[in-house]
Chains A and B, each alone.
Chain A
Amino acid sequence: MSEVLVVAETTSSGVRKPTLELLTAARALGEPAAIVFGAADDAVVAALGEYGATKVYAVDAPEVGEFLSLPKAEAVVQIAQQASPVAVLLTSGPEGKDIAARVAVRLGAGVVPDATKVELAGDTVTTTQSVFAGRFQAKSEVTRGPAVVTMRPNATSAEPAAASPSVEAVSVSVSDAAKGAKITSREPKVSTGRPELTDAAVVVAGGRGVGSQEGFAVIERAADALGGAVGASRTVTDQHWAPHELQVGQTGKTVAPSLYVAAGISGAIQHRAGMQSSKTIVVVNKDPKAPIFQIADYGVVGDLHAVLPALVDEVARRKG
């Protein structure tokens, strides 16, 4: 079986969930081989193996942290040229897209961004994408391989399938051409202690109806009661009632949690594009004509400032 390269994302707390989803998807195409940048310590290798990685490429190049995306892209190209994989899988996001685009040009390969499904039909990699703000499902065949595919987080679930990966150290010489965009400063985001928006099983999101920065606290309290992440519509982030990284929608994050609570959000097509694959959608909105009610599994026509605090009290009472 051919290798399937999976570009892994790790943090100080281990392997990110979207990477485990990629490994799960990769198993349907061939033998998953993870590419790890920086320290591939025992815990990281074990976590990748638990989800089916049969090989781990450990890339040791200090430059990958100093420059935007291109050193990583060069490393992936170098590994792909030797491994001749059937596919290269990455997580959708700014860096995933950067790497995918560069790798595709260098290998003359077809690229499919934001896939929700990836399969093998004979020798051909086929993909499914949710396109045009989620209104259509497009199936495609990659006619020039390896298929370079970025996958949306939460589109598939991560299922373990234990393997014992071998670890191969890869040394990469980063070209001067890849050093053109230097990261001069990095201000880490303050941790809220809540789950990451794209990884969370529950998301509670607020829109214009929250009314103010202070009003947005109602959303945070409801998210905490349900153990979820906090999201926001573009109106809310444009007004600086919540930070931009919480924006759900076409120009923000795409999420597909088990439960999405949209409070005070009217449901413009750009917002729906970022959340309509959620499994259960709950809407709270004063306006019964808000388009978001059309995609609700359960809707409450009412003021979020009354309904959500009542919900928080109910949750507390039921949990005793």
Chain B
Amino acid sequence: MKIVVLVKHVPEPTATWKFAPDLTVDRAGVEGRLSELDEYAVEQAARLAESGAASEVVFLTVGPAKAAEGLRKALAIGGDKAVHVLDDAIHGSCALGTSLVLAKALEKVGYDLVLTGMASTDAELSVVPQMVADRLGANQATFAGELTVDGGQVSIRRDTDAASERVAVTLPAVVSVTDQTGEARYPAFKAIMAAKKKPIETMSLADLGVAADQVGLGAASVRTVDVSPTPPRTAGTIVTDEGEGGKQLADFLAGRGFI
């Protein structure tokens, strides 16, 4: 079984984020990292390789030159090689455009199982995996809290508000995993050094047979017209409990009509 894990290099969540004049995220001017939620998918792939269920693990990313740092981090956790789709024309693509590029790249790379995180920690859309599955004609199971593979069948647990469900999915399939699947290992120094020797292949839109005008900001189906900082909340009243804290809190809640 060949696994391809889709990964994204995102701005560090605690960094100060800025927007470029075209209202896309300024990725050049901010420290980045492998999206934390993708690490769970990388970890699942590494475990499946260790158990012998996966014969090959490839990491695939779409992004600017710096996105290769995300691939190096994934390769330090596990996997055999990586593919980086790098093309200036992709800048500003909407979810439809991004999913087209990923689907074309997956067709070229080949796959049995595509693993992804539940969302990127920058755009947080949670729709690209399903779009990729639709374009590939592959089966799909999203938001898996647990994942096992048995032959050509993937079994997942998916929790909803109403129930905990078990779902059986036949390969080839796209599966997104949540943070419930288990923390990614912390790569040892030796693994980080070994990752530097693993190959990263770079592909352009032309390599994938995607025309530049099918993707990018110009082709986007959703256009951002304004981005403003959320107004800060006005400072509240802070009291220190000296035995009366519960009563003081009750007074505040009663004043707001909650009691």
- Residues from chain A with a CB closer than 8 A to the CB of B230 are 130, 134-137
Cβ–Cβ contact A251 & B241, under 8 A = no
Of A38-46, A47-55, A94-102, A162-170, the segment with at least 4 beta carbons within 8 Å of chain B is A94-102
Which residue, of A185, A281, A303, has the highest number of chain B Cβ atoms within 10 A? A185
Query: Quick one: given A101-B134, A105-B99, are A189 and B236 in contact (CB under 8 Å)?
Result: no
Interface string of A74-110 (1 = CB under 8 A from B): 0000000000000000000111011011101110111
Of B82-90, B140-148, B194-202, the segment with at least 4 beta carbons within 8 Å of chain A is B140-148
- Residues from chain A with a CB closer than 8 A to the CB of B161 are 93, 189, 196-198, 245
> Bound state CA distance, A95 and B240, in angstroms?
44
Of A29-37, A205-213, A291-299, the segment with at least 4 beta carbons within 8 Å of chain B is A291-299
* Interface check B51, CB cutoff 8 A: no
Interface string of A107-134 (1 = CB under 8 A from B): 0111111100000000000100011111
- Residues from chain B with a CB closer than 8 A to the CB of A136 are 17, 227-230
- Residues from chain A with a CB closer than 8 A to the CB of B165 are 183, 185-187
* Interface check A8, CB cutoff 8 A: no
Cβ–Cβ contact B246 & A244, under 8 A = no
- Residues from chain A with a CB closer than 8 A to the CB of B193 are none
Query: Quick one: given A184-B168, A311-B249, are A104 and B127 in contact (CB under 8 Å)?
Result: yes
> Bound state CA distance, A172 and B121, in angstroms?
36
Q: In the complex, how many angstroms separate the beta carbon of B112 from the nearest chain A beta carbon?
A: 14
- Residues from chain A with a CB closer than 8 A to the CB of B139 are 180-181
Which residue on A lies nearest to B254, using beta carbons?
A318
- Residues from chain A with a CB closer than 8 A to the CB of B256 are 259, 280
CB-based A-B contact count at 8 angstroms: 249
Q: In the complex, how many angstroms separate the beta carbon of B81 from the nearest chain A beta carbon?
A: 28
Interface of B is mostly: mixed
Cβ–Cβ contact A140 & B247, under 8 A = no
Cβ–Cβ contact A301 & B249, under 8 A = no
Q: In the complex, how many angstroms separate the beta carbon of B127 from the nearest chain A beta carbon?
A: 4
Query: Quick one: given A68-B140, A298-B236, are A140 and B166 in contact (CB under 8 Å)?
Result: no
Of A19-27, A56-64, A141-149, the segment with at least 4 beta carbons within 8 Å of chain B is A141-149
Cβ–Cβ contact A68 & B131, under 8 A = no
> Bound state CA distance, A294 and B169, in angstroms?
45
Cβ–Cβ contact B140 & A298, under 8 A = no
- Residues from chain B with a CB closer than 8 A to the CB of A110 are 94, 96, 220-222
Which residue on B lies nearest to A225, using beta carbons?
B259
Cβ–Cβ contact A182 & B168, under 8 A = yes
Q: Which residue of the partner chain, among B94, B159, B166, B258, contacts A184 with CB atoms under 8 Å?
A: B166
Which residues of B163-212 have CB atoms within 8 Å of chain A's CB atoms?
A: 163-170, 173, 178-180
- Residues from chain B with a CB closer than 8 A to the CB of A269 are 13-14
Q: In the complex, how many angstroms separate the beta carbon of A319 from the nearest chain B beta carbon?
A: 8
Which residue on A lies nearest to B226, using beta carbons?
A139
Cβ–Cβ contact B168 & A97, under 8 A = no
Q: Which residue of the partner chain, among A132, A250, A314, contacts B250 with CB atoms under 8 Å?
A: A314
> How many residues on A have C-beta within 8 angstroms of the other chain's C-beta atoms?
92
Query: Quick one: given A140-B223, A142-B222, A226-B259, are A180 and B173 in contact (CB under 8 Å)?
Result: yes
Q: In the complex, how many angstroms separate the beta carbon of A315 from the nearest chain B beta carbon?
A: 6
- Counting chain B residues whose Cβ lies within 8 A of the other chain, the interface size class is 35 or more
* Interface check A309, CB cutoff 8 A: yes
* Interface check B95, CB cutoff 8 A: yes
Q: Which residue of the partner chain, among B96, B158, B225, B241, contacts A306 with CB atoms under 8 Å?
A: B241
> Bound state CA distance, A181 and B153, in angstroms?
10
> Bound state CA distance, A308 and B135, in angstroms?
52
Cβ–Cβ contact B240 & A314, under 8 A = no
Cβ–Cβ contact A188 & B228, under 8 A = no
* Interface check B238, CB cutoff 8 A: yes
> Bound state CA distance, A70 and B14, in angstroms?
36
Cβ–Cβ contact A138 & B169, under 8 A = no
* Interface check A202, CB cutoff 8 A: yes
Query: Quick one: given A108-B221, A311-B250, are A133 and B131 in contact (CB under 8 Å)?
Result: no
Cβ–Cβ contact B140 & A244, under 8 A = no
> Bound state CA distance, A256 and B167, in angstroms?
31
- Residues from chain A with a CB closer than 8 A to the CB of B248 are 300
Which residue on A lies nearest to B242, using beta carbons?
A302
Cβ–Cβ contact A105 & B142, under 8 A = no
Q: In the complex, how many angstroms separate the beta carbon of A299 from the nearest chain B beta carbon?
A: 4
Cβ–Cβ contact A135 & B246, under 8 A = no
* Interface check A200, CB cutoff 8 A: no
* Interface check A192, CB cutoff 8 A: no
Additional 8 contacts, C-beta under 8 A, given A108-B96, A226-B258: A94-B158, A98-B142, A136-B229, A138-B227, A177-B137, A186-B163, A293-B238, A309-B246
**Contacts from A to B (Cβ < 8 Å):** 11, 68-70, 93-95, 97-98, 100-102, 104-106, 108-114, 126, 130-144, 177, 180-189, 196-198, 202, 226, 234, 244-245, 250-251, 258-259, 269-270, 276, 280-282, 284, 288, 293-303, 306-315, 318-319
12 inter-chain pairs at a CB distance below 8 angstroms, sorted by A residue, are: A97-B130, A106-B134, A111-B127, A139-B227, A141-B225, A181-B140, A181-B169, A181-B173, A186-B166, A189-B162, A259-B253, A319-B259
Nearest first, the 5 closest Cβ-Cβ pairs linking A and B are A310-B246, A302-B241, A180-B139, A110-B221, A101-B130
